[in-house]
Amino acid sequence: MSRVAYVNGRFVPHAMASVHIEDRGYQFADGVYEVIAIQDGKLVDEAGHIDRLDRSLRELRMARPMGRQAHGLVMRELIRRNRVRNGVIYMQVTRGVAPRNFLFPPAATSPSLVMTVRRTDLFPTARLRDGVRIVSMPDIRWKRRDIKSVGLLPQVLGKQRAAEAGAFEGWMLDESGFVTEGCSSNAWIVTRDGVLVTHEASHEILNGITRQSIIRIAREAGIPFEERAFRLEEAFEAREAFLTSASTYCIPIVRVDDRPIGNGHPGLLTAKLRQAYAAYAASGRTV
């Protein structure tokens, strides 16, 4: 079956989906996006992702393309048309189409909304069994990483650098040597004392929705937890490390810059948190 996309009010064949050459997302990266996992046909953490989309739009003084209820209906119809049970839905909102000018276009300009759906393996056996390797790199992004902007060139360069090094992901370091986050994920460690640590939510990182759910799950389970920055040196001494994102859930990290983390194998707490998050996703529960 051919894929279907949603473009500004129309469901169209994926191969024919297009936007205008003067769309500001194309010319200025003047837009935001979200990715939501689909597990067993259900949208995972939908409310959190749509809340963050709304926040990103407000921060960029950008109008919403449609109301939340209508948006939810369109997402579900797009999933139905693509017959996807497990995968992700990608959505992107830009300031719209206007003659190229750095200034905001007239208020009458309508924002653009595009959405696509694709199948993914939410439970990759080899990665969960063996863990993944990551490499560190300087964080060269802009100062408002809390906005989920489509301006992702630094992440593109980082992901390419990681791939060329044979790694799954990159950890980005600020000017003081602290780990901010991954190129497309949040970064976590478990200290030798069993304390779960991840960077605090600020302008320095994207406050991942999966990240927020893992924090909630950890607190409900009574797992010691700290939101603070950590250096690579602390990660090298950690018992475990892992990454989280909407499309990967929770993936164990076993090596950073060719140095083993813990015993060099996926950790027990990482597995526990991943199983708890997958169960939460399957339940369809919202918070």
Query: What span, in angstroms and rounded, lies between the C-alpha atoms of 106 and 119?
Result: 38
Which residues have a catalytic role annotated?
148
What's the rounded Cα separation, in Å, for the pair 248 and 180? 18
259 sits in which H/E element:
strand 259-260
Name the helix (H) or strand (E) containing 279. helix 268-283
Looking at the DSSP assignment, which residues form a beta bridge with residue 251? 243
> What single-letter DSSP state applies at residue 99?
S
Residue 85, token pair as written in the block: 């049970």
Tokens 């769309």 correspond to 23
Q: Are 36 and 44 in contact (CB under 8 A)?
A: yes
Sheet holding 10-13, edge to edge: 10-13, 4-7, 112-119, 87-94, 31-39, 42-43
Angle between helix 209-220 and helix 268-283 axes, rounded to 10 deg: 110
Q: What is the DSSP letter of 123?
A: S
Alpha helices in 91-171 (DSSP H): 125-130, 153-164
